Structure 1
Amino acid sequence: MARPKKDDAPDLTARVDLTAGAIERLTCPAGKQQAFMRDTEAPALRVRVTAAGAKSFVFESKLNRETIRRTIGDVKTWSIEKARIEARRLAVVLDNKQDPREIERQEQAAKAAAKAAAAAHAVTVGEAWKVYVDERSPKWGTLHIKDHERLARAGGEAAKRGTRGRGVTIAGPLHPLLGLALRDLSAQVIDAWAAREAQTRPTAARLAWRLLKAFLGWCAEQPEYAPVLPSTNPAKTKKAREALGPAKAKNDSLLKTQLPVWFAAVRNIGNPTVAAYLQTLLLTGARPGEVLEMRWEDLNTQWKGLTIRDKVEGERVIPLTPYVSQLLAALPRRSEWVFASASTPPDKPHQPISKPHKPHETACKVAGIDGLTLHGLRRSFKSLSEWLEVPAGVVAQIQGHKPSATAEKHYTVRPLDLLAVHHERIEAWILEQAGVQFDAQAEPGKLRVVAGGAA
């Protein structure tokens, strides 16, 4: 048989002693997408050539009657000898009944896991907190979102009040934790934080602690954060719970006998918007923040309805009672907000007034009433309605409380006009006990009130 010429293409039907020349002469037969040239020294080594002329070293063998093929590398970057060594190594792996492709997948997965663990090791509480809030916010109500913002804010911004004499806003209880690495947020760290915050602001700290527990529970479910967290939620400790203490039940509420002096003191507040806000708060039984968020578009004077943005249900519609209707109609329309602030920077739109804790405290001192908070006015609405034996479900629906009985949840439907019957009765009784008389038929915005028997 004649010897092949040096420039002839290698015979792909037989094994070939791989040389640089043989590889250079290798071509893909016409009509095929790829072809293989087998090595004589390393039986599992091949050189693959494609129709486009690309050439690479390939390992090929069988495992459980299945052909195993794995690319080793390009012939331009791998020498023949190194390719043979790699082919022999893979053959040993195959002899041990292991699939080199699976081993490679496992190695890649291990590298990816190590990379993710390194990233989680470096992430801070603040970085994870931002991701958490962004992801969960669409499922939260407005007030819940504001709680997360308020309790984690940095503080240090110029403010006129509520700063304990510092002149700047105070950092939220959660802010000291945000700069820590997530891996360092241990039970001991949280216990020390809880004990420290409980000394100055236990109520805010208790809420912050509840938000922190939920946040860490979410982190434990995320593959990128779970590796650096302990198996149990580090915020759920007995020490933290004891340091913050239980929330004390509040019982501040207006008594029937205190109504005349309270109304008289509140109506003498120099700011009409604040005075109207406090009276509306008492007569609607709404939450302080819900009343502040009222917009003019929420008042339906035709159907006598008032839309409240509810933290539980999203929004609820309650009756727009006669006294409250005239009270609000008398306010100036400075912006979209019903209780808009009178003073605001020229380059900024009017915003709702801040919660008037101080004016209310001053009015209560004048009236000789101790410890009555803004939320106590909401509590007062419920307590005072007991004098009229109004159905509990009616009061709960007006105040935005969740139904507590099966009949209320599934069988009782109260339209606005039915609520109005009870709500107007409550308002009229409170005003009667306060000695407040007004003309329900008066033109809106011209409310005439007689308190304590004096015009």
Structure 2
Amino acid sequence: MKHAPNRVRLTSGRVADFTCPADKTQAFLWDTETPTLALRVTPTGRKTYVFESRLNGATIRINIGTLAATIEQARTKARELTVMVDSGIDPRQVELDRQAAFAEKNAAACAASIATQAQALTVGEVWQVYIEERRPLWGDLHYRDHIDKAKAGGLQSGRRGGGKQLTKPGPLASLMPLALKDLDQATIEAWAANEGKTRPTSARLAWRLLTVFLTWCAEQPAYASLVATRNPAKTKKAREALGKAGVKRDVLQKGQLKAWFAAIQQLQNPVISACPQILLLTGARLNEVMGMRWEDINTKWKGISINDKVDGRREIPLTPYVEHLLSALPRRNEWVFSSARVLKMDDHNIHRRETKATKRGTIAPVGEVLETSETGRIAEPNTAHTRACRAAGLEGLTLHGLRRSFKSLTEWLEVPVGVVAQIQGHKPSATAEKHYTVRPLELLAMHHNKIEAWILAQAGIVFDAEAKPRKPRAVAI
């Protein structure tokens, strides 16, 4: 096909027939009616309308559009651009200015939209962002506190014998639907006054969590404008409304050890029976003991590696009686205090067993009935321990009270304070203790074995510390 002339009056037929020679990268067909308008075509067959003129001694070329536009529309646009060039205006700069203005307007609109959305952010929405960001830096218990204190409640209670009772909202639940910007000093003080009347202990912890949360918000660019410069939770009025925490006094006295051990050892499930005994004999925190894995037990060097609240992990002695207790536990999975797949009894059977047990003067083994756990380990054995303490006449003794008891009972033996603190995982309280005293496991064991033997003697438990412990047995789940 013969190539079309360079300058013709553009028509739809000529536009359709125009092609680019194979030896060129592009070709132009100029319009005689509008001299600044041309049809540009490439070897691939792509066709566009272009405007070309001279401004300030230089050639400028601007794409007008594809063939989606009609020839007349292209001519009209070319004439508009010609008028601008003839007036000394660069159409390219005009387009850049238009795009910049549009971008600025769009950015302002986006900023306004973001600001509006930020103003509507609720405490609950930001709380979720906060706990997910901080979770890698927290322990499981601290993370769970943040979840529990903000729970909305209203769900069916999972407690045994709870019937159709619903869970209560957490202390912070009433604040979660509020806009973060509205969480001011007066609101928090009114919240503290209300919560302090019914559950001051739980509310004090919730208030501390809320205070740290608001400090974090003030440090985040996205939320800083929504909170007051001065933390609205840190007020004297809020603190006074929640009251002061009382000194915990639940502790086992020397003369109560025999009754307590007798009650705990009547618990039929060895896993639940062993847990409180190990809490008392190690002085460890509940979550430290509950988190023990079999790989943490070193029977060769007589040590236990456990999670530590202060230093991440610490090594404590594996004392003879504790090793004896551990050797009796079933090895179902990686957890020392593992959970078994046993169906939970219904409330009627629970009541019957408790009634029979009460008549016999023994402890009902209801607390040992376990359900399959998602984590593979038992939940905190509070129910079983409370029941055992009630039977022993020691009501009010908590699982954390066993840790307090370990420290108190060591006073009878005049064990060095630093030794007890290191076993329990307390922070060193003196420079010499922190920087200059290094106690190996063998030295800790010398004192710890002495503590354990004394406690067992006071409890009337006859135990041969030299006897070889049994090997833990593997049990199918």
* Structure 1 length-normalised TM: 0.75
What amino acid does structure 2 have at the position aligned with 1:46?
D
> What displacement does 1:138 show?
1.7
2:140 equivalent in structure 1: 142
Further displaced range: 318-327 or 304-313: 304-313
| 1:424 paired residue number | 449
**Alignment pair present for 1:411 and 2:409:** no
Say if 2:56 is the partner of 1:13.
yes
Structure-2 separation of matches of 1:160 and 1:10? 81
CA separation of 1:47 and 1:446: change in aligned 2, threshold 3 A: closer
| CA shift for structure 1 position 375 | 0.9
Out of 385, 399, 402, the residue aligned to residue 360 of structure 1 is 385
What is the match of residue 78 of structure 1? none
Alpha-carbon shift at residue 154 of structure 1 (Å): 3.6
Deviations 1:246-282 (A, max 9, x none): 1111122111122222212222233332221111110
Residue 272, structure 1, aligned to residue 270, structure 2? yes
| 1:153 aligned partner | 151
Change (3 A) 1:191 1:6: closer
Pairwise CA distance, 1:38: 5.0
Whether 2:466 is the aligned partner of 1:441: answer yes
C-alpha RMSD of matched pairs (Å): 3.4
Q: What's the counterpart of residue 335 of structure 2? A: 337
Report how far residue 319 of structure 1 moved. Answer: 0.6
Seen in structure 2, the aligned counterparts of structure 1 residues 169 and 163 have a Cα distance that, compared at 3 Å, is farther
The within-5 A match list for 1:175-186 is: 175-186=173-184
Q: Is the 8 A contact 2:340 2:372 kept in 1?
A: no
- In structure 2, relative to structure 1, the CA distance for the partners of 1:350 and 1:186 (3 Å cut) is closer
* CA contact 1:117–1:228 (8 Å) conserved in 2: no
The match for 2:78 is 24
Query: Which moved further from structure 2: 296-305 or 142-151?
Result: 142-151
Aligned residues: 384
Q: SS of the residue aligned with 1:438? A: coil
Q: 1:47 aligns with which of 73, 91, 113?
A: 91
> What CA deviation, in whole Å up to 9, does each residue of 1:362-420 have, x standing for no partner?
33233333422111110010111111111111111111111111112211111211111
SS of match in other structure, 1:315 = strand
Structure 1 residues 296 and 171, CA gap change in structure 2 (3 angstroms): farther
DSSP 3-state at the match of 2:94: strand
Residue among 276, 291, 294 paired with 2:292: 294
1:44-70 per-position Cα deviation (integer Å, ceiling 9, x unaligned) = x4223xxxxxxx626xxxxxxxxxxx6
Task: Classify 1:300/1:405 alpha carbon distance in 2 versus 1 (closer, same or farther; 3 Å).
Answer: same
Structure 1 window deviating more from structure 2 (391-400 vs 334-343): it is 334-343
The 4+ residue runs of structure 1 with deviation greater than 6 A are: 20-23, 103-109, 162-165
Give the alignment of 1:9-408 within 5 angstroms: 10-13=53-56, 24=78, 40=87, 45-48=89-92, 57=94, 71-72=97-98, 111=109, 113-161=111-159, 167-344=165-342, 351-408=376-433
Q: 1:423 Cα shift?
A: 0.8
CA 1:170 to 1:314, structure 2 compared with 1: closer, same or farther past 3 Å? farther
Query: What stretches of structure 1 of length at least 5 have no aligned partner?
Result: 28-35, 49-55, 59-69, 74-100, 448-455
So what's the TM-score if we normalise by structure 2? 0.71
Aligned partner letter, 1:387: W
| CA displacement 1:113-137 (0-9 Å, x = unmatched) | 4333212111111111111112111
Q: CA deviation at 1:292?
A: 1.6
The answer to whether the 8 Å contact 1:326/1:446 transfers is no
Determine the C-alpha separation between the residues in 2 that align with 1:199 and 1:269.
Answer: 37
Which amino acid is the alignment partner of residue 394 of structure 2? I
Q: Distance in 1 between matches of 2:150 and 2:375?
A: 25
Per-residue CA deviations over 1:155-207 (Å, capped at 9, x if unaligned) read 44444428976544433222332222212222232223223323332222111
Please state how far the C-alpha of 1:331 moved relative to its aligned partner: 1.6
Identity %: 57
How far apart in 1 are the matches of 2:97 and 2:375? Answer: 69
